[in-house]
């Protein structure tokens, strides 16, 4: 696997790659099966796959969260090599933000008034800055994102449309532990006790789906699930919502494609997940 640390070297190498399809999986490291699944899909669908590892400080609205964010680059490199990744871009902060490549911005007003955008002010601005720079450096034909970060996928789709990048955004299903817990780099910092409770998150989503299909109203489902979360002493609710699957607006009719989204703190660690209801 090639490893690039410098933006200019990466751009130079990439410019020489002509007439081949390029896949790209941007990550913040602490890789797990969810990331590796994205890389494997990209390897199948493209001639050459880049992965980036960059813990982007601009998207952490909470400094403590950034400090706690797990890092294990040596292990990440071995994992990427073991599945045949072609190249890793492993830049420093300066290589991303003080290079010749400028970030793009999009209007995030609507996204910032709901769910992750509302709870984590500045988060999506940070994501867009890093992703737009990475896209300009790697210039992929396809970029792969996990649907666990549902709102992030929608915002990156908007970035590509608004800025006219010739990139296909491929959204991939959430990979789960056997007990249902969505794979996340943050799982690595859960205490053993918290790990035992964590599968409840997916169980609440499954229950919401079952209730939805048995004809219960959105209000009734929300009230039931929120009550159950509040009854669990290790969990603190951030939000539980049922929304339109395309733009995450409030549901107006049962004809809409619908998604349930949850964010909780489990012993102080923030975890998110979602499930498509229809
Ligand atoms: O999902 C992530 O890991 C990050 O938000 C991303 C897309 C790599 C941007 O920093």
- In tens, the pLDDT along 41-53 reads 999 999 999 999 9
CB 25 within 8 A of CB 35: yes
**What pLDDT sits at residue 36?**
98
Work out which ligand 1 atom sits closest to the CA atom of 55: 10
Quickly state the pLDDT bin for 219 (edges 50, 70, 90).
very high
**pLDDT, average across residues 266-276:** 96
In order of 13, 134, 157, the CA distances from 89 in angstroms are: 12, 9, 22
Q: Which tokens belong to 218? A: 């959105």
Work out which ligand 1 atom sits closest to the CA atom of 26: 8
Q: Is the CB of 29 under 6 A from ligand 1?
A: no
User: How far away, in angstroms, is 166 Cα from ligand 1 center?
Assistant: 20
Per-residue pLDDT tens over the stretch 113-146: 999 999 999 999 999 999 999 999 999 999 999 9
Q: Is the CB of 273 under 6 A from ligand 1?
A: no
Residue whose CB lies within 8 A of the most ligand 1 atoms, among 152, 160, 184, for a mutation test: 152
Q: Mean pLDDT, the chain, as a whole number? A: 97
Q: H or E element: which one contains 178?
A: none
**Biggest distance spanned by C-alpha atoms of the chain:** 58
Indicate the CATH number of 185-276 among 1.25.10.10, 3.40.1440.10, 1.20.950.20, 3.30.1300.10. Answer: 3.30.1300.10
User: How far away, in angstroms, is 24 Cα from ligand 1 center?
Assistant: 12
Residue nearest to atom 2 of ligand 1 (CA): 27
What architecture (CATH level 2) is domain 2-172? 3-Layer(aba) Sandwich (3.40)
Burial of 113 (0-12, 13-18, 19+ CB in 10 A): exposed
Quickly state the pLDDT bin for 237 (edges 50, 70, 90).
very high
Q: Is the CB of 36 under 6 A from ligand 1?
A: no
DSSP sequence for 243-272: EETTT-PBP--TTS-EEEEEEEEETTEEEE
Distance, first Cα to last Cα, the chain: 41
Q: Shortest CA distance to 207 belongs to which of 187, 234, 180?
A: 180
Beta bridge partner(s), residue 171: 145
Q: Is the CB of 38 under 6 A from ligand 1?
A: no
**What pLDDT sits at residue 125?**
98
The Cα angle at residue 181 between residues 177 and 182, in degrees rounded to 5: 85
Work out which ligand 1 atom sits closest to the CA atom of 156: 7
Phi and psi based region of residue 196 (left: phi greater than 0; alpha: psi -120 to 50; beta: remaining) = alpha
Quickly state the pLDDT bin for 97 (edges 50, 70, 90).
very high
Spell out the domain ranges in the chain: 2-172, 185-276
**What pLDDT sits at residue 17?**
98
Beta bridge partner(s), residue 258: 244
Q: Which of 35, 123, 234, 246 is catalytic?
A: 35
Annotation marks residue 213 as catalytic: no
Q: Is the CB of 30 under 6 A from ligand 1?
A: no
Q: Is the CB of 28 under 6 A from ligand 1?
A: yes
CB 187 within 8 A of CB 195: yes
Distance CA 214, CA 224 (A): 14
């Amino acid at each position: 696997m090639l490893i690039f640390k410098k933006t200019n070297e990466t751009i130079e190498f990439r410019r020489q790659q002509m007439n081949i399809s390029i896949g790209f999986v941007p990550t913040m490291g602490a890789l797990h099966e969810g990331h590796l699944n994205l890389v494997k899909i990209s390897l199948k669908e493209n001639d050459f796959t880049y992965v980036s590892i960059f813990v982007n400080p601009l998207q952490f609205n909470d400094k403590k969260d950034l400090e706690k964010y797990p890092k294990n680059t040596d292990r990440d490199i071995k994992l990427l090599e073991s599945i045949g990744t072609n190249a890793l871009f492993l830049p420093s902060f300066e290589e991303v933000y003080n290079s010749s490549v400028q970030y793009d911005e999009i209007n995030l007003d609507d996204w910032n008034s709901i769910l992750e955008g509302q709870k984590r002010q500045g988060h999506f601005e940070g994501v867009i800055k890093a992703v737009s720079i990475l896209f300009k450096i790697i210039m992929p034909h396809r970029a792969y994102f996990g649907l666990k970060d549902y709102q992030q996928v929608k915002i990156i789709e908007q970035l590509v449309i608004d800025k006219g990048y010739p990139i296909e955004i491929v959204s991939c299903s959430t990979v789960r532990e056997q007990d249902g817990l969505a794979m996340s780099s943050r799982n690595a910092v859960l205490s053993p006790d918290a790990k035992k409770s964590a599968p409840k998150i997916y169980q609440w989503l499954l229950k919401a789906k079952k209730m939805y299909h048995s004809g219960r109203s959105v209000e009734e489902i929300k009230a039931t699930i929120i009550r159950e979360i509040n009854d669990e002493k290790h969990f603190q609710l951030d939000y539980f919502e049922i929304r339109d699957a395309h733009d995450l607006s409030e549901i107006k009719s049962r004809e809409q494609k619908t998604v349930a989204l949850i964010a909780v703190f489990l012993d102080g660690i923030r975890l998110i997940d979602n499930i498509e209801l229809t």
